[in-house]
Structure 1
């Protein structure tokens, strides 16, 4: 929100000598974040004057049109002779008054102006555009002053274009929609500085008449609980927007369009009431306010044809939708340069509906920004009356006596507030009279109730013995005040946050991290030590992700929780697997030239509870009961914590030392083993076996099993998935359910033998589909207690072994705890191990 201080002064008596720093601090003290305070008087230094164009010579032979101009700048240049200036703009003619900065001047951004030769001519200064002066973003042409400007050539141009003002830019939080207006900011400053405030909306306005200004039917009184309209006929379409209005719009960052449209934008900024101006002659039949039919089309004022959703609110005539209600009007009914009959509309729309519509269509207009934050429902008639008076006063025409006002606005619900609640909550003594005074400053109607005779169970922390109760009815412009806590915040805010003491709470006793927290940190550290980079992905996914991942129709990961108000309509679902967002990060990094990627994430996934209904309504005035907690918990989706990795490219880089190694399915499986090891799961309780699960490649997918329970999968992703997600070939991933892992057993100290080991290598030939992990398990089972360690160190295939056969070479380590093993004992243990592998898998010794 940008607003000029001169505009604010119309409604609040700011001290004439108020420093900009004090103005900024007053707003900050009220909880309004100030982005900048710009004194426009200091933004342009040096001679900035009014000039009158005397001659224009068109220069040819260049890539773009260039003009050589002679401009009368009076005596500002010291000679009184016309100033020679080269300019590329085309929107001015001989006789126009323009803004000229002479050599020696400096424009915003430190852009110094001098005399130079360009395009074969000498140019002494510059004719300025609004963007160059820091007045807006319009750089399509230079500033042409209106004909009614009284300034003469050579006069200081600063007051003419509004560079004698101060502009405040603020970031308004979503709960303070009223502050997106001059009215709201002026009221806030009156509180902060203790100066009088004049409400621009406190003006009489004609009410509804028996004959409406235009026939309108509202079919959805929930989405639109108030709709008002008035007509102006016979407007002079050639009248331009007056300079004072254009200056204020420009300072607020709003582009001037036409008089009728500028009036609606001006009143939106002043009052906070968005409006719309229709060309009445381009409306076919009565207006209908309704929800759109799915698939209906509307071309909005920005020229984009939009496909509407059944949730969108629209204004229609006999031809169909002509306006995306509260967001943007349509092309078919917009005010044109020839418009003579204008229908002004001012309504009140449901904030949630408008917010979802704006996000769905990615159309964050100034009107939608205000509607989704809440607009005063008492403003429509006042705004219409002001709009009609402005238009008829500036462009003539006749205001219709008929007024349409369809009003279904529900009265505000009073809030019961124990008068001592602000003191008890904040720790500052607020006398009852002070509480009442501050709430009335906000605009609330306060009624003192009887003292409480006993503890009120419906009020948090109510002291036994009673105390006065206030019945507070919030004003119409504060839809955010719905609970006692909101009123407490207002008391604290207006009395001053600086009065609230900073007291550190006493730290409660504890036992440090839980074993689950320690496990997560250990797992994260283990993956980081192996070269994986941690990422934090957004938990929101698109509906088509499950198809891209190739999940079967009956996969439990297909059902997902849909957000009621998603940040993006393209990603309205909560993830059921970490892989979707994680692989999206891989794609983004690969697309930006990072070919070798190894990342991991530890986070929650969300599984909807079957048959879950709506959560119970719970206020903030008391602690929910155990039954309410249980009912709410029954609706909340299950949120197990998973860990996942994704890797592609080289896992070991190439260099002068030799060739590198490309990441593959084995690295993903090893990452799963590393997680289980870091989680404290003993190796003898872990089984890695072949498995099948989307989105992995059926022949290159492993199940990670702990105590006969599948806790995760790892391997190479399916080629179809890689193609759908535009990922490199051989991209691999692992995902494991951390919450499914049992608690780590108490670790026993290892038994260390001082006797030498016996090392024996054995190479077994088995069928190609036989998993190496299951052959290892057979060797361990057959070797007996003398086997200390077994490790696979080679996998070999060749034509000599036969089609569909492979050789697995293992290094066996035998050791006895109490003696040096004889060679015969080690060989016997090896033979026993090979015998079990031969019996179970038909394994034969290679070369035998």
Structure 2
């Protein structure tokens, strides 16, 4: 809401010395968000005067039309002689009154005007457009043509109110009343402790049977409808300068007198209005829900198919407007024809939820819908209609018809009971009953009672629904800055759970390994599952669909972390970051089929254990996963040597890094699982509750997946279920042991058949070596048919032996090694190389 300070002063007698910055501080102190204060005309400097065009000479021989004009500026130039000015605009004629800046004047932006030769003539000044004067959009994009009654030589800065300050207020949804000068003026009056001249306090005639006929078929959607008629309007009448300037300062474009007046009253009182050309309305005006298939062409020229939930304004032909959002083109006041001499004024109150849904359904947010959906004062409708009638009579020479139509659904004012000390308890400050009563009365409440206050909420504050809302009003007006600072006292707890500790350890470990955390929204669509090549019978295809998704393309909760991570990798690669390693830890959602919608919970008490159990039973299974994706160089090249691209082994190593944090040893086997390459996919196993269990996969993505998702070549990924790893590790990670005894290292090279997995050989070596084995590491894989034979490979391992209580002898280390080799030979057919 843009609030011109000059307009605000009409309702509150602010001190003359108060600047926009001062008013900004005061309004912020009572809880309004005043974002900026714009100083209009701060760098303007005269002489800027009213001139009358005497002659126009068309200059030939130039690429664009140029006119050489003489303009009468009275005595403003000191000589009384006509001013010679070169101008390229063409929207004015001889005899028009225009705005002229004379040499020595300065326009917004520090543009200084002087006499200069141009197009073969000397231009002594400049004829100004609204943009050059900093007036805002007037819809013409040309020279400002003033009303004929403007006095030649008069100061145009004062005439056009070019110097002002405008406060830009970000109105929160609960303060819809501040989308009006009336609402902001009330807050300013409270902040300064001054009386308010309420512009809604008007003498309004009583309704009678002679007004324009109105029929309300949907009283729940429209509980109040006021209709007034003004006839005998001058179709040539135009909005006066003061009205146009106030609209421009408030951020609206002047259109025509009738429309400008309704917009002006809306800004003044906060009540949206609509003016119909009575000659184009057929029969009674009605309010009802739209019928299926009905269409309406709105004022923006778009033909819209209406929804049965839409509230519409009708006449005998059908819909003529979207109630509370935008009028229809069929009854528009057409200023270009100049034929509208009789108008019907609509001032109604509509259901906020219905208007908000209609505006979003049709993607049609308007100034009216913004106000209705935040709550409009229903009691202001008749005053707004009267104010509109008065202005049309004054400015367009019309006559107000005696008929007044008001259709009102009976309703009682909203009343609350408030303990007088409730704000004290909420704020921790002793305000006292007198302060509470005074502050509530300042915002318009009627307050009765002593210890127990009976508070009647004003009609313009529909957001005040309970005692805490009233307490908030007292607190904000007394000043949030006056609230004491107290340290919170959290209840004693047991610290982080084992699940939380593992989550944090995994994040730190992956970050330490060079991965960057990239959290993503937990939403997916079927399209991305198609791109990942996930089969129709895969459990990841069974998703939980949301009733109100943020995007129609992603209506379901994720069953895997990979879509979000791969999308982040693709975006970063497309923006020039090609060496990428990302990770995420988070929940996935797997429906069990047993979910059901729980019963509505009570709000007057804490849910019972049975209620909470029913809620939990309605939720899908939500295991916590960890995933990484990587592409490009894993080790960059430089003066130290060649780099290395990331590959499937790095994805497997990321899985081992995560497993180490859980205190779990992984078994890696070849696997086939979408979206991984079938020949470069590792299945990851761990012992969970005594049984070897699949906990995840790692490797290089399938080329079809890479192409479908637009990923870099050879992109790799890993995903594991953290909850299974936690169960496998038992929640306890043993501390590293530091021995004072030396280590004994034994190397063995075993020849096995190529199909034999390395993991099986390592498992046999580990089991055969016994308790003395501290660590085992594969350091070489060698294949040579001439030396090893066809279909054979050599696996070289480094075995580290150490005892906790003594130094091992060579015989003990060799015996452990031989036992390891013997078991590997028995299980895998391994032969000691060179034997």
After TM superposition, the score normalised by the length of structure 2 is 0.84
Does residue 667 in structure 1 map to residue 650 in structure 2?
yes
1:702 and 1:715 in contact (8 A); partners too: yes
1:712 and 1:737 in contact (8 A); partners too: yes
Match of 1:34 in 2: 34
Match of 1:11 in 2: 11
| Mapped partners of 1:45, 1:805: distance in 2 | 94
* Structure 1 residue 376 displacement after superposition: 1.7
**CA deviation profile, 1:372-416 (whole Å, cap 9, x unmatched):** 322222233322232233234333455555555444475344222
Match of 1:829 in 2: 820
| Mapped partners of 1:134, 1:798: distance in 2 | 84
Q: Residue 648 of structure 1 is aligned with which of 625, 631, 649?
A: 631
Match of 1:394 in 2: 395
After TM superposition, the structure 1 stretch with the greater mean CA deviation from structure 2, 168-177 or 750-759, is 750-759
| Mapped partners of 1:571, 1:293: distance in 2 | 31
State the secondary structure of the residue aligned to 2:378: coil
Matches within 5 A, 1:79-118: 80-114=80-114
1:40 and 1:167 in contact (8 A); partners too: yes
| Mapped partners of 1:86, 1:845: distance in 2 | 102
**CA 1:653–1:194 in 2, change beyond 3 Å: closer, same or farther?**
same
Does residue 682 in structure 1 map to residue 663 in structure 2?
yes
Does residue 487 in structure 1 map to residue 487 in structure 2?
no
Match of 2:156 in 1: 157
**CA 1:656–1:385 in 2, change beyond 3 Å: closer, same or farther?**
same
After TM superposition, the structure 1 stretch with the greater mean CA deviation from structure 2, 58-67 or 272-281, is 58-67
| Mapped partners of 1:52, 1:347: distance in 2 | 45
Does residue 594 in structure 1 map to residue 595 in structure 2?
no
Match of 2:47 in 1: 47
1:562 and 1:573 in contact (8 A); partners too: yes
| Mapped partners of 2:814, 2:207: distance in 1 | 108
Matches within 5 A, 1:215-230: 216-219=215-218, 221-230=219-228
Does residue 244 in structure 1 map to residue 242 in structure 2?
yes
**CA 1:16–1:62 in 2, change beyond 3 Å: closer, same or farther?**
same
Does residue 329 in structure 1 map to residue 327 in structure 2?
yes
| Mapped partners of 2:453, 2:428: distance in 1 | 19
Match of 1:128 in 2: 128
**CA deviation profile, 1:115-136 (whole Å, cap 9, x unmatched):** 5555665555444333343332
After TM superposition, the structure 1 stretch with the greater mean CA deviation from structure 2, 261-270 or 627-636, is 627-636
Matches within 5 A, 1:182-581: 182-206=181-205, 209-210=208-209, 213-214=212-213, 216-219=215-218, 221-233=219-231, 235-282=233-280, 289=287, 299-304=297-302, 311-315=309-313, 322-337=320-335, 338=337, 340=340, 341-397=342-398, 399=400, 401-408=402-409, 410-448=411-449, 468-506=451-489, 509=492, 513-539=496-522, 555=539, 558-560=542-544, 562=546, 577-581=560-564
2:779 and 2:797 in contact (8 A); partners too: yes
* Structure 1 residue 178 displacement after superposition: 0.6
| Mapped partners of 2:525, 2:389: distance in 1 | 47
**CA deviation profile, 1:721-741 (whole Å, cap 9, x unmatched):** 555554444444444444553
State the secondary structure of the residue aligned to 1:203: coil
State the secondary structure of the residue aligned to 2:53: strand
Match of 1:749 in 2: 736
2:282 and 2:316 in contact (8 A); partners too: yes
State the secondary structure of the residue aligned to 2:172: coil
| Mapped partners of 1:50, 1:523: distance in 2 | 75
| Mapped partners of 1:499, 1:640: distance in 2 | 46
**CA 1:788–1:162 in 2, change beyond 3 Å: closer, same or farther?**
same
* Structure 1 residue 640 displacement after superposition: 5.3
Does residue 176 in structure 1 map to residue 166 in structure 2?
no
* Structure 1 residue 190 displacement after superposition: 1.4
Q: For structure 1, list consecutive stretches of 5 or more residues without a partner in the other structure.
A: 450-467
Q: Residue 820 of structure 1 is aligned with which of 810, 823, 832?
A: 810
**CA 1:501–1:825 in 2, change beyond 3 Å: closer, same or farther?**
closer
**CA deviation profile, 1:233-265 (whole Å, cap 9, x unmatched):** 554433222211111100001111222222222
**CA 1:779–1:70 in 2, change beyond 3 Å: closer, same or farther?**
farther
State the secondary structure of the residue aligned to 2:447: strand
State the secondary structure of the residue aligned to 1:345: strand
| Mapped partners of 1:230, 1:151: distance in 2 | 36
1:41 and 1:165 in contact (8 A); partners too: yes
**CA 1:689–1:417 in 2, change beyond 3 Å: closer, same or farther?**
farther
**CA deviation profile, 1:739-793 (whole Å, cap 9, x unmatched):** 55335314143364514311224464434xx765456445545665565544455
**CA 1:56–1:176 in 2, change beyond 3 Å: closer, same or farther?**
same
After TM superposition, the structure 1 stretch with the greater mean CA deviation from structure 2, 408-417 or 624-633, is 624-633
2:50 and 2:150 in contact (8 A); partners too: no
**CA deviation profile, 1:120-166 (whole Å, cap 9, x unmatched):** 6555544433334333245862452431553323x322222222433
| Mapped partners of 2:141, 2:306: distance in 1 | 36
- Cα RMSD of the aligned pairs, angstroms, is 4.2
* Structure 1 residue 648 displacement after superposition: 3.3
**CA deviation profile, 1:786-839 (whole Å, cap 9, x unmatched):** 65544455678999999x98958453425353222576863563353254234x
1:781 and 1:833 in contact (8 A); partners too: no
Match of 1:585 in 2: 568
| Mapped partners of 2:345, 2:785: distance in 1 | 86
* Structure 1 residue 570 displacement after superposition: 6.7
2:764 and 2:823 in contact (8 A); partners too: no
1:279 and 1:334 in contact (8 A); partners too: yes
After TM superposition, the score normalised by the length of structure 1 is 0.83
| Mapped partners of 1:724, 1:281: distance in 2 | 60
Q: Residue 797 of structure 2 is aligned with which of 772, 794, 811?
A: 811
State the secondary structure of the residue aligned to 2:732: coil
Q: For structure 2, list consecutive stretches of 5 or more residues without a partner in the other structure.
A: none
